[in-house]
Amino acid sequence: MKTRRAFLQNITMASAGLPFLTINASSLGNIYKSDDKVLRVALLGLGGYAQRVAESIQSCKRVKITGLISGTPDKLKTWSAKYNVPEKSCYNYQNFDSIKDNPEVDAVYVITPNSLHREFTIRAAKAGKHVICEKPMAINVKEGEEMIAACKKANVKLLIGYRMHFEPHTLEVIRMRNEGDFGQIKFFQGLCGFRIGDPAQWRLSKALAGGGSLMDIGIYAINGCRYMVGEEPIWVTAQETKTDPVKFKEGVDETIQFQFGFKSGAVASCLSTYNMNNLDRFFLNGEKGFAEMLPSTGYGPIKGKTNKGEINAPVVVHQTEQMDQMAGILFDGKKPVVPVDGEEGLKDLKIIEAIYKAVATGKKVSL
């Protein structure tokens, strides 16, 4: 989906004509002081999303890019010049471990295909650096557990790139739910998907992605269901539909519908697909009210309404807000409303494995 992968053209233009206020992170109730410690980050894997992150960091109050890691020499040269990173702080995948001797790097942000998350997270931890890892944090539960253990052993923190956990409209819905505005939650629907393009890309490789749509866009519905309902699911059922077995080979899912049940009695119905556009919607229904987010997880601007009217929350650049907030987590011990640690990432991996098991067996799987 072009809107999902393309860069934000201009956040001011994007919000023109909308009843939202476009502000930076410092206007969200976080008072940034001139003496706040700045998080110095090395970006690992200089692909399309890393470029979005890098551009967003330029507006951060507490984060700057001080290192680069890539297997492509030309990218290192171009990015080094663009972001003013010295050659001594540029690494390839072979000499990356020597980053342990670089005092100018506090954390490594792993932005590679899913199957490489484990390796580079563990190597970064052994080098004594905090780790920020893109989601899903790994391709299976075992790898996720190994990543958490490695970071604990090295006494570094592991954070997962859950940008929506800092998004103002999302946080407003969570606040309203916590305060009982919707009453007892009964139902959640999460629709996430787009028509994927290049059939040769890594997202359609079982070896690199660990699956298909569920490992990419589907995780938004899984994670979103958990933070919107405010509970962990206790069972899952799921069904897969595949219309193009050439493009979506064995082990690469095209479309999966999955359903959750919760201890409270709430239920959820979700869709993850690589074969349909116009799917970016969350709907939460309770005894006293509802919340709808449309779009719900795209790069912005997020829009939402409840039974009380439109959600007039600030519009932010998600990655800018995420990185500044993560600086606060790493240096100041701040606790986000919704966790972004390795344990949070592991919960999603356990659900993903259960969904794939439900697809394979046709049975309800307990969580």
**CATH code assigned at 122:** 3.40.50.720
Q: Examine the pLDDT at 332 and tell me if it is beyond 80.
A: yes
List, in sequence order, every residue forming a beta bridge with 91; answer none if it has no partner.
Answer: 69
Lowest mean pLDDT among 8-17, 47-56, 154-163: 8-17
Confidence at residue 36, expressed as pLDDT on a 0 to 100 scale: 85
| Same domain assignment for residues 102 and 243 | no
- Of the candidates 334, 362, 350, the one whose C-alpha atom is nearest the C-alpha of residue 29 is 334
Under DSSP, the state recorded for 221 is H
Give 63-117 pLDDT, tens digit per residue. Answer: 999 999 999 999 999 999 999 999 999 999 999 999 999 999 999 999 999 999 9
220 is catalytic: yes
Q: Structural domain tally of the chain?
A: 2
Confidence at residue 300, expressed as pLDDT on a 0 to 100 scale: 83
Lowest mean pLDDT among 32-41, 60-69, 249-258, 301-310: 32-41
Instruction: Give residue 329's identity as a one-letter amino acid code.
Output: I
- Of the candidates 66, 114, 109, the one whose C-alpha atom is nearest the C-alpha of residue 90 is 66
Peptide bond into 314 cis (omega under 30): no
Confidence at residue 35, expressed as pLDDT on a 0 to 100 scale: 66
The residue length of the chain stands at: 367
- Which string of b and e fits 90-101 if b means at least 16 CB within 10 Å? bbebeebeebee
Q: Examine the pLDDT at 34 and tell me if it is beyond 70.
A: no
Instruction: Show which of 108, 133, 160 is a domain's final residue.
Output: 160
List, in sequence order, every residue forming a beta bridge with 236; answer none if it has no partner.
Answer: 260, 365
Residue 166 pLDDT level (bands cut at 50, 70, 90): very high
- CA angle (55 as vertex; 52, 60 as ends), nearest 5: 120
| Same domain assignment for residues 305 and 211 | yes
Instruction: Tell me the C-alpha distance between 6 and 99, whole Å.
Output: 31
Terminal C-alpha separation, the chain = 32
Q: Is residue 2 part of a domain?
A: no
CA distances from 312 to 20, 108, 126, 231, 284 (A): 6, 35, 44, 26, 18
| Same domain assignment for residues 119 and 200 | no
Instruction: Tell me the C-alpha distance between 245 and 254, whole Å.
Output: 9
- As given in the structure block, the two tokens for residue 281 are 């919607």
Asked whether the beta carbons of 106 and 118 are under 8 A apart, the reply is no
| Same domain assignment for residues 296 and 190 | yes
91, 109, 162, 220: which is the annotated catalytic residue?
A: 220
- As given in the structure block, the two tokens for residue 294 are 């449309």
CATH number, position 277:
3.30.360.10
| Same domain assignment for residues 134 and 198 | no
Q: Is residue 24 part of a domain?
A: no
Confidence at residue 32, expressed as pLDDT on a 0 to 100 scale: 55
| Same domain assignment for residues 133 and 170 | no
Give the number of other Cβ atoms within 10 Å of residue 182's Cβ. 22
| Same domain assignment for residues 125 and 183 | no
Instruction: Give residue 44's identity as a one-letter amino acid code.
Output: L
91, 109, 135, 303: which is the annotated catalytic residue?
A: 135
| Same domain assignment for residues 151 and 170 | no
Q: Is residue 146 part of a domain?
A: yes
Instruction: Tell me the C-alpha distance between 110 and 156, whole Å.
Output: 15
SS3 333: coil
State mean pLDDT over 175-180. 98
Using DSSP, how many helices (H) and how many strands (E) does the chain show?
Answer: 12, 15
Give 8-17 pLDDT, tens digit per residue. Answer: 333 333 333 3
| Same domain assignment for residues 225 and 303 | yes
Under DSSP, the state recorded for 308 is T
- Of the candidates 238, 295, 236, 239, the one whose C-alpha atom is nearest the C-alpha of residue 267 is 236
Q: Which domain holds residue 127?
A: 36-160
State mean pLDDT over 186-203. 97
User: pTM for the whole thing?
Assistant: 0.91
Q: Is residue 333 part of a domain?
A: no
For 226, what's the count of Cα atoms within 13 Å in the CB-facing half-sphere? 26
| Same domain assignment for residues 171 and 268 | yes
Q: Is residue 283 part of a domain?
A: yes
Q: Examine the pLDDT at 43 and tell me if it is beyond 50.
A: yes
- Of the candidates 42, 210, 29, 56, the one whose C-alpha atom is nearest the C-alpha of residue 118 is 210
Q: Is residue 11 part of a domain?
A: no
Lowest mean pLDDT among 6-15, 173-182, 322-331: 6-15
Kindly report the average pLDDT of the chain as a whole number: 92
Under DSSP, the state recorded for 106 is S
| Same domain assignment for residues 247 and 155 | no
Asked whether the beta carbons of 41 and 107 are under 8 A apart, the reply is yes
Instruction: Show which of 107, 135, 160 is a domain's final residue.
Output: 160
**Which H or E element spans position 149?**
helix 141-154
Instruction: Tell me the C-alpha distance between 158 and 339, whole Å.
Output: 11
135 is catalytic: yes
State mean pLDDT over 358-366. 98
Q: Is residue 16 part of a domain?
A: no
Please give the share of the chain, as a percent, with pLDDT higher than 90: 90
Instruction: Give residue 217's identity as a one-letter amino acid code.
Output: I
Confidence at residue 5, expressed as pLDDT on a 0 to 100 scale: 35
Instruction: Give residue 252's identity as a one-letter amino acid code.
Output: V
Confidence at residue 20, expressed as pLDDT on a 0 to 100 scale: 33
Give 276-311 pLDDT, tens digit per residue. Answer: 999 999 999 999 999 999 999 999 899 999 999 999
| Same domain assignment for residues 126 and 154 | yes
Asked whether the beta carbons of 13 and 317 are under 8 A apart, the reply is no
Q: Is residue 197 part of a domain?
A: yes
Confidence at residue 120, expressed as pLDDT on a 0 to 100 scale: 98
Confidence at residue 21, expressed as pLDDT on a 0 to 100 scale: 33
Instruction: Show which of 160, 192, 216 is a domain's final residue.
Output: 160
Q: Examine the pLDDT at 269 and tell me if it is beyond 70.
A: yes
